[in-house]
Structure 1
Amino acid sequence: MIQKCSYDFLPVIAGPYVHATKHNQTLYISGLTAFGTDVQCGELSKQTEEVLSQLLKILDYEACSVSDLIKVTIFVTDITQLSSIRQQLFDVYQNHLPACSLVEVSALIHSDLKIEIEAIAALNSNGGHQ
């Protein structure tokens, strides 16, 4: 069974997608950005903090943690700024490093945005919301 998920605690979706999809004990999280937040116009580190906070809220809501992250894909508009967010990523992951891809893109959905993160996580068989 496939379950589509939209979370009230995240910024309102402005496009043709849902925040996440559940399938076979796996949670596929759509690209998260700072769009519609107080830091939309902020620097990369502030946007990263917002996006990681959103990711952690989703994991918590679904009774998961960073140790359940399988794969993370990070899109940035300026890869030369990676060093400014590297420690934030280590701090969130703790000792539970996921597989990861980092891609520099020419633009995201709004010119203010500097980072987008999507993720795949393992769902616990007896946790999370239905």
Structure 2
Amino acid sequence: MNISEVGGKFGLSQDTLRYYERVGLLPRVNRTKGGVRDYTEEDCKWVEFIKCMRNVGLPVEVLIEYVALYQLGDETLQTRKELLIEQRKQLAVRLEEMQSTLERLDTKIDRYEQWTYAKDKLQRRPFN
């Protein structure tokens, strides 16, 4: 797949994909004889992984470290696992914070709905 096709498949710009490769988020992508990037299925799996991790807020630096460790081979398995465990812990904390905020917003919205309903009811009361 060329860069345009990969970008379309994952909803990423070509500039973003080039950036991922330039900073080491994405292992080096093969090129055709003409110099055009030629993404393999494995490259697409990396793009999908990076997009997923970035969507939940994992820092670019952490992902760069992960990719670098991956490229060093199996001797980094434990280190990669520990890195992912730490990121999972941090994500779980953020998830709890977001759940709390969501509940708070639901409470506020409910109050506005109750207030609006009560106000509408008062305005419809006949004058006697």
Whether the TM-score (by the shorter chain) exceeds 0.5 is no
Structure showing greater radius of gyration is 2
Structure with greater proportional strand content: 1
Structure with greater proportional helix content: 2
Q: Which has the higher contact order (CA 8 A, sep 6+)?
A: 1
